[in-house]
C-alpha cells in the first residue's frame, strides 16, 4: 500500500477486521472509510485505535496515493480528533509516526499534535505525537 504500512495477506486482513469489530463493540470507536463526497470513491481510512500496551488511543489515517495532497487526511483527522474529544471524552489522542514519514508528520502538525516521545509500535520505531483536549 505505502512505504510506511505493511501489506496484509488474507489471514492477516481477516484478523484485523475481526479485531476492528471487537474494538467498535467494546470501545465505541475504530477505523472509518474515507470517501470522496461527490463520487463516493474509496480514498482510504481514518479513525481511532486503542493500543492496550500504551493505554492510549491513536488517531490514524492511510490514503491511496491518488488521494494525497487534497487535504483529505487533515479533514478526516480533524473530524476524528473532534469525535475523540466531544463524543468519547478522551483527554488526548496520539499519532505514532515513522520519523521519515514527512507527509504524516505534516498532517499531525496541521492538527496541532506535537512530538512527546520516541517509542516502538509493532516492532518499528515511531515518534509519538499528541494533542490534548482543551477543558
Name the nearest CA neighbour of 104 among 79, 129, 83, 80: 129
Predicted local distance difference test score (pLDDT) of residue 95: 97
With respect to residue 4, please indicate whether it lies within any of the assigned structural domains.
no
Per-residue pLDDT tens over the stretch 72-117: 999 999 999 999 999 999 999 999 999 999 999 999 999 999 999 9
Helix pair 72-86, 102-110: axis angle to 10 deg: 50
CB 102 within 8 A of CB 129: no
What's the CATH code of the domain at 17? 3.40.630.30
Q: Tell me the whole-structure pTM to 2 decimals.
A: 0.86
Assess whether pLDDT exceeds 70 at residue 5: no
7-33: average pLDDT: 83
Predicted local distance difference test score (pLDDT) of residue 21: 87
With respect to residue 5, please indicate whether it lies within any of the assigned structural domains.
no
Range of the domain at 124: 10-132
Integer Cα distance of 27 and 35 in angstroms = 23
With respect to residue 3, please indicate whether it lies within any of the assigned structural domains.
no
With respect to residue 47, please indicate whether it lies within any of the assigned structural domains.
yes
With respect to residue 2, please indicate whether it lies within any of the assigned structural domains.
no
Residue 8 — very low, low, confident or very high, per pLDDT cuts 50/70/90? low
Integer Cα distance of 97 and 120 in angstroms = 10
Predicted local distance difference test score (pLDDT) of residue 1: 37
With respect to residue 95, please indicate whether it lies within any of the assigned structural domains.
yes
Predicted local distance difference test score (pLDDT) of residue 98: 94
Task: Please state the domain count of the chain.
Answer: 1
With respect to residue 104, please indicate whether it lies within any of the assigned structural domains.
yes
27-51: average pLDDT: 94
Amino acid at each position: 500500500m505505502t512505504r510506511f504500512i505493511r501489506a496484509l495477506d488474507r489471514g492477516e486482513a481477516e484478523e484485523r477486521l475481526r479485531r476492528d469489530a471487537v474494538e467498535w463493540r467494546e470501545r465505541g470507536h475504530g477505523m472509518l472509510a474515507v470517501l470522496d463526497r461527490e463520487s463516493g470513491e474509496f480514498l482510504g481510512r481514518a479513525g481511532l485505535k486503542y493500543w492496550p500496551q500504551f493505554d492510549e488511543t491513536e488517531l490514524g489515517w492511510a490514503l491511496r496515493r491518488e488521494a494525497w495532497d487534497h487535504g483529505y487526511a487533515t479533514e478526516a483527522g480533524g473530524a476524528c480528533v473532534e469525535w475523540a474529544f466531544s463524543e468519547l471524552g478522551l483527554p488526548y489522542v496520539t499519532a505514532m509516526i515513522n520519523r521519515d514519514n514527512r507527509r504524516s508528520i505534516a498532517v499531525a502538525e496541521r492538527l496541532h499534535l506535537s512530538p512527546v516521545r520516541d517509542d516502538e509500535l509493532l516492532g518499528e520505531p515511531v515518534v509519538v505525537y499528541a494533542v490534548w483536549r482543551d477543558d
